[in-house]
A and B are shown apart, each in its own frame.
Chain A
């Protein structure tokens, strides 16, 4: 126990927490945007995986890390457009279509990887690049805090920026207002002349960009290679994080942070004589507990609201 506490109180632990939070945060933001528009994006896991692979392939072949990142983002847009085309245009069930996209991505990425490298498991034979880490001046020089907050991968800071952008989108921009309206009551939105299909499609594309950024972080920052199934359910955890976040951008940060913490803790716990299967369970256990807690809180809030309305 003492050993554990001494680990937790080290800078390195909290640095790792932020690192683990980043991909989940991206995915959660993606889940929030889609769900706000009433288009649940189950395909986030698959979109992340695709983004992760594309980043590796394009950065390896062009030897330009930014082209790799761009390719990842474009692949995210394409996958989401595919989901949008089937679910919104052809009116298939969006949940089933999302599941199909996940399965497609799980198989498709391995297929492509094997075609290019002959290896079905890992991309180490490709000389892919890694996005740079950034040292933030001033904060950099503060003891402890500097060690925790500075020196992260550039995408970690982009993720923080995205939270702010999301907040602005939903609170200060007409697109955000329309996304909220479309998600909550499509008839009302339609009756004032809003193109419901278009807004949902745009929301899905934004969602895909976020998911792909999360994937790119995994293969071009967190580690420097692609491996099959490397997202390890982060796209699904994001769906849970979205529910816990209650669809707000700040909530997304907290919920993702919770999972980042659980993820890091499970890595650290491997040092102890606890069964490794149990340790791997931690992030998912946190998901369920978080879910229960948030439902109880929401029920209470709803009751309060009704009470207020009655008086």
Chain B
């Protein structure tokens, strides 16, 4: 193997004076899958933007096959055979797959588009690289994993030999991830070089040959993947020992705070997505809901938090029926909610950190004098306190939330919810897509809230998380509970998988135990 690409002492200083990369060396061997890891804000994205021509380095040189290259746009990078699959897909929804693939490099017949050849070219590529896709489908009608395939094909169509994949697995189901890995291995075999950006260390162990670790804008090491353990990697990333395993004492559950009684939900398309679900959550315990995404978990959470109305059944908080209460009234009963989609429902992106912190507290006597005028002094004091307590990395509490990294945004959400006067926490995907440092912190906070006597309902697509964090476990499959495990620590991952896939199902009586009567 020979070195195909070398980034030599790259430094990037943004106009504001922020040093995003400092003297970073990055090198690729031809035909390898190279992982780039690091916490959010470690400088991975900046380095890749430079490599893809989207930004220009302040200092340093880039060599492709030994020759220095100079890029002023992504177009230049594409022409040099460097392609990138962005985390947010760059596709035009109303155009077909084939049109998206040829866009910008259209095949023409005279002055007209040659649609037939565009479709053929797409088919050829998709067969060659085993990325099955129908070229005639509109992008808006295909699934997320298919969109990702289109993005990869788009890069290949433009002749990419080096492919940058920015957190490609974040949006995929476990089965789709398996499939993606097979396809990436095939690409590797056909001589392509892949840069794989990910937070998920076990994926890196499974897929990659080498890895470069970044921290605070520096490269802190290049390793062969088989020579380092997951613990080593996370230690190097964070700069200290990280414990992703959770230390927690046995739960001491007390009285029931949340009771879900036979809820059903039929969605807008007439499909029953929640079927007769009953369970309860007691003070001082974490109840986890495991399941492949899209099996009714989101709907259950939305019903409990008042965002959706159950078609049938009841939800009781502190013994009070909530189906006719507004979200505000439900929250006033003592419920906090960390929503699944933080950018969409968790925060108001353009507002400041402090404004987001008080978005459910601003009405209280404490922050609004006479109920009308906001007490800005008190608000910014609270914000400063929460920023410290929840370890949010920012210059000021006045910064717009959207300017923070994913992990820090999530800390703002968690900080707001955990600081309100509650005893019931509904936590949905608390650590999705954030860095290990933030994951560790948030998981610890959840356990701490439990120990302080809160009742916690946790939904997570991360199996490891839901298994280690929960005291008892509910497993969902196609809208119903298929298994209940009173002691989560005694469940094996394999066993859980069989329930999640709907292969195994417990008896009515066993499932009934989830109600804790």
Contacts and interface: CB of A to CB of B under 8 A. Distances in A.
Contacts of A188: 89-92, 100, 103
Interface in A182-211: 184-185, 187-194
Interface in A78-133: none
B112 interface: yes
B191 interface: no
B493 to A, nearest CB: 29
Interface stretch (A55-63, A173-181, A281-289): A173-181
B75 A193 contact: yes
Given A181-B92, A184-B92, A310-B269, A173 B75 contact: no
Interface string A286-311: 00000000000000000101111110
Given A191-B74, A305-B140, A310-B269, A177 B103 contact: yes
**Interface SS of chain B: helix, strand, loop or mixed?**
loop
A141 interface: no
B159 interface: no
Interface string B99-130: 11001111010011101000000000000000
Contact of A177 (B74, B89, B90, B95): B95
B115 to A, nearest CB: 8
B95 A193 contact: no
**Interface SS of chain A: helix, strand, loop or mixed?**
helix
A188 B100 CA distance: 9
Interface residues of B, number: 31
A25 B92 CA distance: 28
Interface in B359-415: none
B311 interface: no
Nearest to B78: A193
Contacts of B94: 180, 184
A188 B271 CA distance: 34
B141 A308 contact: yes
A126 B437 CA distance: 79
Interface residues of A, number: 25
Given A194-B103, A308-B141, A184 B93 contact: yes
Nearest to A303: B268
A189 B111 contact: no
A188 to B, nearest CB: 4
Contacts of A307: 269
B86 interface: yes
B73 interface: yes
Contacts of A177: 95, 99, 103, 106, 113
A267 interface: no
A305 B86 contact: no
Nearest to B79: A193
A185 B92 contact: yes
Nearest to B101: A192
Contacts of B111: 173
B76 to A, nearest CB: 9
A172 interface: yes
B92 A173 contact: no
Contact of B112 (A172, A180, A309, A310): A172
B141 A174 contact: no
B141 A305 contact: yes
Contacts of B259: none
Contact of B154 (A187, A192, A303): A192
A181 B95 CA distance: 8
B136 to A, nearest CB: 14
Interface in B248-269: 268-269
Interface string A138-179: 000000000000000000000000000000100011100110
A148 B95 CA distance: 38
B293 to A, nearest CB: 14
B112 A193 contact: no
Most central of A188, A305, A307 by chain B CB within 10 Å:
A188
Nearest to B52: A191
A185 B104 CA distance: 13
Given A174-B106, A191-B86, A185 B78 contact: no
A305 B91 CA distance: 18
Contacts of A185: 90-93
A238 B489 CA distance: 66
Contact of A174 (B90, B93, B108, B140): B108
Interface string B478-509: 00000000000000000000000000000000
Most central of A172, A191, A303, A307 by chain B CB within 10 Å:
A191
A290 to B, nearest CB: 22
Contact of A173 (B99, B103, B113): B113
A308 B142 CA distance: 10
Given A184-B95, A189-B92, A192-B104, 17 more contacts: A172-B115, A173-B112, A177-B99, A177-B106, A178-B104, A180-B92, A180-B95, A181-B92, A185-B93, A188-B89, A188-B90, A191-B86, A192-B105, A194-B103, A305-B140, A305-B141, A310-B271
- Nearest 7 interchain pairs by C-beta: A192-B104, A193-B75, A174-B106, A188-B90, A191-B90, A181-B92, A172-B112
16 contacts: A173-B111, A173-B112, A174-B106, A174-B108, A177-B103, A178-B104, A180-B92, A184-B93, A188-B103, A189-B103, A192-B78, A192-B90, A193-B78, A194-B104, A305-B140, A307-B269
Interface of B: 73-75, 78, 86, 89-95, 99-100, 103-106, 108, 111-113, 115, 140-141, 143, 154, 158, 268-269, 271
